[in-house]
Amino acid sequence: MAGSLTNERIKDALPRERKYWLADELNNLYVLVMPNGAKYWKFRYRYDGRSDEVTVGKPYPRMLLPAARAEARRLQVLLDGGVDPQEKKRQEKRAAKQIRANTFEAAANDWYEFRTKAWKPRTAQQVRAYLDLDLLPALGRHPLDAITTSMLADLVHKIDDRGAPDVAKKARQWLKAIFQYARAKEWTTADPVRDLHAITIINAESEPHAHIPYEELPAFLAAMKEVSASPLVKGAAYLALWTASRPGVTRTLRWSEVDLDEGLWNIKKGRDEMKRGYRHVTPLSRQAVAALKDLHRISGTFEHVFVGRNDPSKPLSDGAVKAMFERMGYAGRQTMHGLRHVVSSALNRKGYVSDHIERQLAHKDPDKIRGVYNTEPYLEDRRTMLQDWADILDSLAGEPVAILS
């Protein structure tokens, strides 16, 4: 159908049994009217002796006539310059696809899939969580070549400022690994992580491991008795204080790991949350055994001793004890990890053998301690030491600890 197109003419064009064309008088511009009523802008042309067509912009009425004509004129200029508009469009699509493939998100996800082959499930889960929480929201859509050192520094500082210095350090390591991987894949030649260390200052690790001096223990124990908190949260804090175990290992304690008759807590080699994956056996004081027997009435049917508040199939969250300490008035003064420092300082102060203390803190691989021969190092010595320590805590508190009272 010849003649100039108008918006009204296009609007009034009704669908037919078969598709048909409405032609503009200039610029090789057409409207293709489909049987379902859809209307597509097309640029129809001849190139190198053959007929072809290319879609112009969005369908009508998302693109109106003036914009369609302007795009058709651009395509005509290409054609007059010896460029096939269809091939030009294919090249632009390939370039756009390549840009998307070279984004940080694509590189990070590819690196993650590659690295998970060597990681333990717990490590993979942790890295995935921080990729999704921190790295991808900030950098995901950016092309690798567009990411600057200052962008990475801003990201690392934001993580550190929220009180997660360990995560900030890990993020810097992951960023370095991701860009190394991307360069090896020839997706980029950029290395914005190279000078990142020079412009990022991460808070000292000791800050989140704050701990009170020995002299403040009576007041701390009194505050823990009075604070309103779940027995599970209090129990996790007391167990960490009784045993000097790592926070992650303590809050993820499983019933299958404890032998209440023998008063032992057995951690197998390679256990999640256990730094360096050492095996470890902790003797449990009478106070710890009594507390665990009380807690068995609450969580004994579940896998974990300290079950999550909202989902008992999962362990206690890592912020539960922190929140309790804050309500007690010890925000910034005492952390769950800091309890290890409290115990270590107190036991050294009381004159206990340093090797016994270090073994209880799981600072050495028990399988490599000379003369051990696959037995648990200093077990009975540590049992005596931890029982003495639990009795000292009762004395400082002025009464035996009872988490269900």
State the DSSP code for 355.
H
State the DSSP code for 143.
B
Of 271, 340, 341, 359, which is the active-site residue? 340
Of 97, 162, 350, 363, which is the active-site residue? 363
The distance from CA 402 to its chain's CA centroid, rounded to whole angstroms, is 36
Whether 337 is catalytic = yes
Burial code of 174-208, b = ≥16 C-beta within 10 A, e = fewer? bbbbbbebbeeeebbebebbeebeeebebeeeeeb
Whether 74 is catalytic = no
Q: If DSSP codes are grouped into helix, strand and coil, which group holds residue 51?
A: strand
Of 50, 349, 370, 373, which is the active-site residue? 373
The first and second tokens of residue 385, run together, are: 């030491």
Whether 363 is catalytic = yes
Whether 69 is catalytic = no
- Nearest-CA neighbor of 235 among 290, 301, 183? 290
Contact 79, 47 (CB under 8 A): yes
Of 275, 293, 309, 350, which is the active-site residue? 275
Whether 275 is catalytic = yes
Of 304, 337, 341, 356, which is the active-site residue? 337
Q: Calculate Rg over the CA atoms of the chain.
A: 33
Q: If DSSP codes are grouped into helix, strand and coil, which group holds residue 280?
A: strand
Whether 97 is catalytic = no
**Which residues are CB-neighbours of 282 under 8 A, at least 6 positions away?**
243, 245, 264, 265, 267, 360, 382, 386
Amino acid, single-letter form, for residue 197: H
Burial code of 224-237, b = ≥16 C-beta within 10 A, e = fewer? bbebebbbbbbbbb
Q: If DSSP codes are grouped into helix, strand and coil, which group holds residue 194?
A: coil
Calculate the alpha carbon distances from 322 to 27, 183, 221, 305 in Å: 70, 41, 15, 18
Of 39, 42, 211, 246, which is the active-site residue? 246
Q: Cα(first)–Cα(last) distance of the chain, in Å?
A: 91
Q: If DSSP codes are grouped into helix, strand and coil, which group holds residue 301?
A: coil
Catalytic residue set: 246, 275, 337, 340, 363, 373
